[in-house]
Amino acid sequence: MAETLTIEKSPSDSRQASESPESSTLTLTLAVDNMYCGACIRSVEQALANLKDVQNARANFTQRRVVVRAKSTIEPEDLINALKNTGYEASLLADFSDTSQKKLTADLAQRLGIAAFASFNIMLLSVSVWSGEHAEMDEATRTLFHWLSAIIALPAITYAGMPFFSSAKTAILNWHVNMDVPISLGVILATALSFYQTFQGRDGVYFDAAIMLLTFLLLGRLLDQMMRQKALSSAENLLKLRQTSVRIVNEKGESQRIPVGTVVPGMHVLVAAGERLAVDGRVLKGESNIDRSIITGETLPHAVAKGDPVFSGAINLLSPLVIEVTAKEEQSLLCEIADLMATAEQQRGRYVQIADRAAKSYAPMVHTLAAITFLGWMIAGVGWQVALPIAISVLIITCPCALALAVPAVQVAAAGRLLKHGIILKSADALERLAPVDTFVFDKTGTLTQGTVSLLNGRDIDDSILAQAASLAIGSTHPYSQAIIKAANERGLSISPMPNIKETAGFGLVAGQGQKEIRLGSASWCGISELQDSKEGSDVFFKVAGSDAVLFHFQDSIKEDADRVIRALRSSGYEVELLSGDNKAIVNALAQQSGIETWRANVTPAQKVEHLQKLKASGHNVAMVGDGLNDAPSLKAANVSLSPASATHISQAAADYVFQGSKLFPVFFAVETAKKAHSLVMQNFTLAIGYNIFLVPLAMAGLVTPLIAAIAMSLSSISVTANALRLHTLKSEL
């Protein structure tokens, strides 16, 4: 039997009060478009955390958004003004829309076009000057070409560099630094030095380097922006599937279109063939097949008829359906999954925290290295005209863009990959905790088995007994309870919940007291000392005080791919165990079917927790796979947990991962993805750190020009993001 657990849900709207009056909190999502680096993240979060009513603020660098949890007394304007005073332009995100991101992409593309055009023309003039050195070009002609370059460069640099200059200015005015500060310093110093040299009629003019520097920086930022849009949050991609309107049908059969946000439970919605469902509900009229791959990850069509539940996001494939709405839009399964995904994405895992701390101390280090380089070359006696370009190269090449992107890019890509297979990531560090796992411990009912048990001996049970048992079972979501209720409904028996139903996880249900006590559950729960082992199914007893116990005999079937998944896990080097509260005969039969050699039967929830703790104490890294209800203590006791969950109780699972569908494949796919994500994170760290270790000394030694520094910095950021996106192309080994 199961003990229902609940977790706090993040609201699907940008502003929505918590449902708990005691907490009196709300969650708001703000879009912050000029958040470009790890230093920006720190500044944004700190500015919001300083407000007295803010409980916490978490910035998502990949999406350029910040999720704020605060007391209900706060106003959105307070948050927006706090960020504005720190130099960041923010707006309340009323919906998941990428309009601002498209505008930013278009703006970057336009500035890149101007910079590239100017670069091409200035480079032609520079080539002429370089060629003229061998052809004895006179000084007047060379100076003219330099002034022509200056005339082209000044407006082009001013316009193309504005995103960097304005961001750097804002940061400095608010007494902090970001990655655009060294970039802007490099461009401005290179341009100023070039004007000085031109005015003096000397060589050493860097207009070509300055404008090409901006060209490559803009190219890198544009490509990065495009990759960000490709690697959008899984939550955002989900909510883009929402319909904006639905067609409701009244009692007279008349229909009209209304906004989906105005739909309330009880309304009847007509869903045409080929249309995506906008609401959760149950089928009132019609039969069809629906594509629910967005929910379960399974691509095969699913047949539905009258009475069957359907969920938002699914596509009606064959014929029209009339749906009775059971939940408002913001309470739909699609929004619920998006909320869970968004919560996980905006949290900080251990790797993200490491990268953030590194990026935090990086900016001061950049300026220190540049200053040391400049002073060192000045002491060497080369003159400031030579020392300054070298310092500029150091400023540019040491920007921590790649390091800030190393982890978030992989995390978003992994979450999206998992969601495509019906796996919902509920914890930010779950990927990190699943990767080193060496032992999988499985529960039986609803995990290795289908969880849709049937009552085998229903014909032998009187109607009155079955009705009483169903009236007690209605207080539980356990598969055995649901099977009893289903059997009673099929007979047309009257069922009404008993008062004061209490449930003890792993044992059963009880109602009433003393001589009027009624119990439903295990043999020991009902006071039966001996229980004959069953080879065909599982047993539950119903006992009214003073009467003999009645046996309810159930049977559950193993999931179709359980043996294949277990074999794959074992062949990959994982230890696999089975823990179950059922009797030995049943557990032994299931273990043989699924290929599990180590198993334990008649295990209570407390004994499961104890066993997991022993495994951890002996040095094992344990993943628990349970149904998320009566296995909640075990799920929490393991290093990481996975739970199969039906769509109706997805938010109740106390697991780090929740997977939909009737197969066990998501377990293997999740650990496979976690290991690959870990590998990509390590690769990204290596790329980001190795880039600096290799190129910074070269830049300080004067072997890297500002132009090469710009190309290298842009390529490092692009390579890190592109490496993360490789996760989408990797194939499963199962």
CB 346 within 8 A of CB 296: no
CB 636 within 8 A of CB 622: no
- Can you tell me which residue has the tokens 């004994």? 607
- Strands (E) in 10-53, as ranges, are 16-17, 25-32
Residue 555 — φ and ψ, nearest 5°? -140, 135
Residue 403 — φ and ψ, nearest 5°? -65, -40
Q: Any catalytic annotation for residue 443?
A: yes
Residue 183 — φ and ψ, nearest 5°? -60, -50
- What span, in angstroms and rounded, lies between the C-alpha atoms of 268 and 734? 43
Tokens found for residue 465:
């007994």
Q: What does the chain come to in residues?
A: 734
User: Of 638, 626, 631, which Cα lies nearest the Cα of 434?
Assistant: 638
Order of strands, edge to edge, in the sheet holding 302-304? 302-304, 288-291, 315-316
Instruction: Calculate the CA 73 to chain-centre distance.
Output: 29
- What span, in angstroms and rounded, lies between the C-alpha atoms of 668 and 731? 13
Residue 637 — φ and ψ, nearest 5°? -75, -25
DSSP string, 637-679: HSSEEEEE--GGGGGG--SSEEE-SS-SHHHHHHHHHHHHHHH
Within 8 A by CB and 6+ apart from 453, the residues are 445, 479, 480, 483, 537, 538, 554, 555, 556
CA geometry: angle at 593 spanning 436 and 596, to 5°?
Answer: 30
**Per annotation, catalytic residue among 443, 539, 582, 631:** 443
User: Of 276, 203, 201, which Cα lies nearest the Cα of 238?
Assistant: 276
CB 397 within 8 A of CB 716: no
User: Of 576, 566, 572, which Cα lies nearest the Cα of 675?
Assistant: 572
- Indicate which residues carry an active-site annotation: 443
